[in-house]
Amino acid sequence: MYHIVCPTKYRKVVIDENVDITIKEVCLEISNRYEIEFIEIGTEGDHVHFLLQSVPKYSVSKIVTLLKSILAREVFKKHPEIKKKLWGGEFWTDGYYASTVGLHANETIIKEYVKNQGKEKEYKKIHYQKPKEQMTLF
C-alpha cells in the first residue's frame, strides 16, 4: 500500500469540485483497467493525496507516471480553462511524494496524516473504499 502526493504545477490552486469529480471518475477507470486499487483519494486545491495498493509488478514510479499522465490528459480535456491557468501546459509538477504504508505507518495513521495536512477545512475526501486483502501477482 502506498501514500502518494502529487502537487499541481506551480502549486496553483486549480482543483475545485468539478475537477474533484473528474479525478475520481478517471481514477476509478484506471482501477478497472490496471491492477491498482484506490483506497482513498483526497484533494486540497493544489495537490492530490492517493492511498492505494497495487500488485508488485508495478513500481511506484510506474504508478505515478501512469496516474499523472492519464489524469492530466483527462483533466485538460474536460476542463480546458485549467490549461490557460497553467501557462506551461503541464498539470503536475515534475516531482511527487511517495511512502509505503506498512510496519511503522498503518492505514489509519496515514489517513489521519492526510486529513490533517494543510487546512483541515480544505481537505476533501472524494473517494474511499475499504481495502481488500493484499494484492498478489497470481
- Average pLDDT on 86-101 reads 90
At 101, list the grid cell.
504504508
- pLDDT tens column, 24-37: 999 999 999 999 99
Ramachandran angles phi, psi of 120, nearest 5°: -55, -30
Residue with cell 503541464: 90
If one compares 115 and 47, the residue with the highest pLDDT of the two is 47
At 128, list the grid cell.
474511499
pLDDT level of residue 138 (50, 70, 90 thresholds): very low
Residue 5: pLDDT above 50? yes
Residue 112: pLDDT above 80? no
Residue 8: pLDDT above 80? yes
Could you give the domains of the chain? Answer: 2-128 (3.30.70.1290)
- pLDDT tens column, 16-70: 999 999 999 999 999 999 999 999 999 999 999 999 999 999 999 999 999 999 9
Residue 111: pLDDT above 80? no
- Average pLDDT on 7-16 reads 95
| CB of 69 closer than 8 Å to CB of 62 | no
Q: What pLDDT is recorded for position 137?
A: 47
Tell me the chain's radius of gyration from C-alpha atoms: 14
Mean pLDDT taken over the chain: 87
| CB of 137 closer than 8 Å to CB of 57 | yes
At 20, list the grid cell.
474533484
